[in-house]
Amino acid sequence: MQLVFATNNLNKLKEVQALIPKHITLLSLKDINCLDDIPETENTIKGNALLKAKYVKEHYGYDCFADDTGLEIEALDGAPGVYSARYAGAQCNAEDNMNKLINELADKDNKKAQFKTVIALLLNGNQICFTGICKGQITSVKQGDKGFGYDPIFKPNHYDITFAEMDLELKNNIGHRGKAVSQLVDYLNS
């Protein structure tokens, strides 16, 4: 079986490749010569995942899946949510996003947060979505140098370290993306 993972994010690709069974050939957008910047214009995480998967299917004809992930902060009414990647502005990077979030939470006692990933799969004319959630809290300082995005300031519940301090196997076992991919793999194996 051959599936396209509709992402240009090499970190996400690496995480997901580690979880996909060997009998499934995972192709990236680069592998199918899709160099388009697929717009993420929906106002929900699920909407953006579906938008990306449908784009690849319609323009390139491949069965595929796409994901979208958001960090939802309780004290900020779910923000940054669907805007997590561009929270500090369109031209900003992960450091800018983390700094903005740390500053916004500096005077708040409630640091509860959750990462939410939705994977939209388009396969054989069917559309199925899988959701993975990892609850935790935001730290006041960045810790660790692994992972990407908000990983240095997200500490999952029941752990004393951030995602950025975990090896990939542990992060995949407890993390939002790993949980969603696990559901995807179960579906593909059934």
Backbone angles phi, psi at 109, to 5 degrees: -80, -35
Report the SS3 class of residue 69: strand
CB 161 within 8 A of CB 111: no
Strands (E), 7-164: 25-27, 64-73, 80-81, 112-123, 126-138, 154-156
CB 162 within 8 A of CB 155: yes
CB 127 within 8 A of CB 176: no
DSSP one-letter string for 127-187: EEEEEEEEEEEE-SS---SSSSTTGGGEEETT-SS-GGGS-HHHHHHHSHHHHHHHHHHHH
Instruction: Clarify whether 107 is annotated catalytic.
Output: no
Of 68, 96, 145, 151, which residue is the catalytic one?
A: 68
Angle between helices 10-17 and 176-189 (to 10 degrees): 50
Active site residues: 68
